[in-house]
């Protein structure tokens, strides 16, 4: 058991575990900042864009204070503004997602929207002109409503629709985009969209639908990877991976074999559900399959229906990733919990989750600051998954929410959070020799955060949602992260070769944009904060 081996190796005091490591990442380590289409773009019907499941969800009143995705941050009209923020921060890489319905309004190629295609052309070209590499996620939750009306991810035909969409994106943008993510945090879609119904499409079927959805997402991912591998890899030389979200599962009592086994099951029901087929052998893990059958036998009824892959599908799925993307925000304490015959991952998996009351809280009761969990999760991923395929790990999303009121600019909690999590990633690289090659902060700016709407703020930049111009103002965390990337970690001097070659500093980037007249008046009024931060 992988987790059992890792737990036995961790004989650290809390002081040893939490000790800060000075130094720098390897010279070619990559830094990125992320956003997702439906959280920032707005323009929800502009130029014929199709309705998405998040548009429908927000219009039906399922979001905090009836907030919607209609305008969001208005990024659809603010490409120059958003790239100016990135250039000012010296961000080497920007990870953003494409809205499927903005390119194919119905989800199919016959509904192509040229102006939607042009929007992402402009984004990619403006980034490259600014010395920023684009990383593109093909799908981050916002399925076209027209596809959902036909069954969404429960309908097997969606695999072909995703292949069609992926092929178009690879063919049209692939000459400029070298890093592709097929799906961002698909566990959220399967579990919250089709299991608990907390997210759109609000299906509450944790026994059948959530497992069927994961099955089709995995097959869709594999088909997209093969399309790129067969038709575009030699031409463009890029990479295709997937970004899986996972908490770390710490056994509540590390000396208890039962709690260690429960934590292993937790990781198999969350991370391994997707990772094992893609990175190991093309099939679901033995832990997952045996646990589901065990519960069916002990309860005398079906609590989870795990579909079967054919032998051909297993071969098609195995090894279909050029990197392991990880979205990670927090950890959980896990204990064994038996005898429940209700549906849902916790009950089927015979585990219970707990939170240590000493862990620093955030604006979300689902996220606490537990930085050492990242290092342990990276070690687990390296042993359990990437040791098979020998691909690097990219941290494709890490961040925390703050409240939407109060001191929104001096976000010291986020600075402390990022400092600690980045440092744990560095420990994994330098001390544990884990092949982590990228760190991505979520997110560039405050945005629409699902059912929480705009009440939870993940942004490095504050967005005034009361102002129709949607001005962005850098927070203290934006300045902090720019200094970390400039220094390539925590050394006293800059060691990032890519940034050094570009000749940019955070302040130079902003001065350039101002001198070239690329900012409108409403945007210039927030320049003062960056100027003052640069003078610190």
448 within some domain: yes
Q: What is the pLDDT of residues 155-184, one digit of tens each?
A: 999 999 999 999 999 999 999 999 999 999
Mean pLDDT of 93-101: 98
Q: What pLDDT is stored for residue 495 in this prediction?
A: 61
**Domain for residue 508, yes or no?**
no
Residue 468 inside a domain? The answer is yes
pTM assigned to the model: 0.94
Q: Measured between alpha carbons, how far is residue 477 from residues 29, 415, 513, 529 in Å?
A: 20, 5, 21, 12
Instruction: Specify if 412 maps to a domain.
Output: yes
Q: pLDDT tier at 125 (50, 70, 90 boundaries)?
A: very high
Residues 6+ apart with CB under 8 A from 186: 214, 217, 242, 244, 274
514 within domain boundaries: no
Higher pLDDT, 496 or 521: 496
pLDDT score of 309 more than 80: yes
Burial 504-513 (b: 16+ CB within 10 A, else e): bbbbebbeeb
Q: Is the pLDDT of residue 279 over 90?
A: yes
Q: How confident is residue 496, by pLDDT bands cut at 50, 70 and 90?
A: low
Domain of residue 196 covers 3-492
Residue 535 within any structural domain of the chain: no
Number of domains in the chain: 1
The CATH number linked to 91 is: 3.20.20.80
Residue 42 lies in a domain: yes
Residue 2 is predicted with a pLDDT of 78
Whether 460 maps to a domain, the answer reads yes
Among residues 463, 328, 495, the alpha carbon closest in space to that of 39 is found at 463
């Amino acid at each position: 058991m992988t987790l059992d081996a890792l737990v036995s190796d961790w004989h650290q005091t809390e002081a040893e575990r939490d000790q800060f490591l000075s130094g720098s990442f390897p010279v070619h380590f990559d830094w990125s900042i992320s956003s997702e289409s439906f959280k920032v773009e707005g323009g929800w019907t502009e130029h014929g864009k199709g309705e998405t499941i998040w548009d429908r969800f927000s219009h039906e009143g399922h979001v905090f204070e009836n907030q919607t995705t209609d305008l969001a941050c208005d990024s659809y009209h603010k490409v120059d503004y958003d790239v100016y923020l990135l250039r000012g921060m010296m961000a080497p890489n920007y990870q953003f997602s494409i809205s499927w319905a903005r390119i194919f309004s119905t989800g199919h190629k016959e509904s192509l929207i040229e102006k939607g295609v042009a929007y992402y052309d402009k984004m990619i070209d403006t980034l490259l002109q600014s010395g920023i590499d684009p990383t593109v996620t093909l799908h981050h939750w916002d399925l076209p409503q027209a596809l959902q009306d036909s069954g969404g991810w429960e309908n097997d035909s969606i695999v072909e629709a995703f292949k069609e969409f992926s092929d178009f994106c690879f063919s049209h943008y692939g000459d400029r985009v070298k890093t592709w993510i097929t799906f961002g945090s698909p566990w959220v879609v399967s579990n919250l969209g089709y299991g608990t119904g907390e997210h759109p499409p609000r299906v509450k079927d944790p026994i059948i639908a959530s497992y069927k959805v994961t099955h089709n997402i995995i097959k869709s991912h594999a088909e997209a990877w093969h399309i790129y591998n067969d038709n575009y890899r030699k031409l463009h030389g890029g990479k295709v991976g997937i970004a899986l979200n996972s908490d770390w599962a710490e056994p509540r009592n590390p000396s208890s074999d039962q709690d260690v086994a429960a934590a292993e099951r937790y990781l198999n029901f969350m991370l391994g559900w997707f990772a094992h087929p893609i990175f190991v052998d093309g099939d679901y893990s033995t832990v997952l399959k045996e646990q589901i059958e065990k519960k069916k036998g002990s309860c005398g009824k079906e609590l989870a229906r795990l579909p079967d892959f054919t032998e051909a599908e297993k071969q098609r799925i195995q090894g279909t990733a050029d990197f392991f993307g990880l979205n990670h925000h927090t950890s959980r304490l896990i204990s064994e919990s038996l005898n429940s015959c209700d549906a849902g991952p916790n009950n089927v998996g015979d585990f219970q989750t707990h939170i240590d009351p000493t862990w620093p809280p955030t604006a979300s009761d689902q996220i606490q600051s537990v930085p050492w969990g990242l290092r342990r999760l990276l070690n687990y991923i390296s042993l359990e998954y990437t040791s098979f395929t020998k691909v690097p790990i990219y941290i494709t999303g890490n961040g925390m929410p703050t409240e939407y009121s109060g001191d929104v600019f001096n976000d010291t909690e986020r600075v402390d959070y990022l400092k600690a999590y980045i440092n744990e990633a560095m420990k994994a690289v330098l001390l544990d020799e884990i092949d982590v090659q990228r760190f991505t902060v979520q997110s560039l700016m405050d945005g629409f955060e699902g059912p929480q709407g705009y009440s939870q703020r993940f942004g490095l930049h504050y967005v005034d949602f009361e102002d129709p111009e949607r001005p962005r103002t850098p927070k203290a965390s934006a300045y902090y992260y720019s200094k970390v990337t400039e220094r390539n970690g925590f050394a006293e001097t800059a060691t990032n070769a890519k940034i050094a070659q570009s000749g940019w500093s955070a302040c130079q980037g902003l001065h350039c944009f101002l001198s070239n007249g690329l900012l409108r008046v409403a945007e210039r009024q927030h320049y003062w904060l960056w100027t003052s931060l640069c003078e610190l």
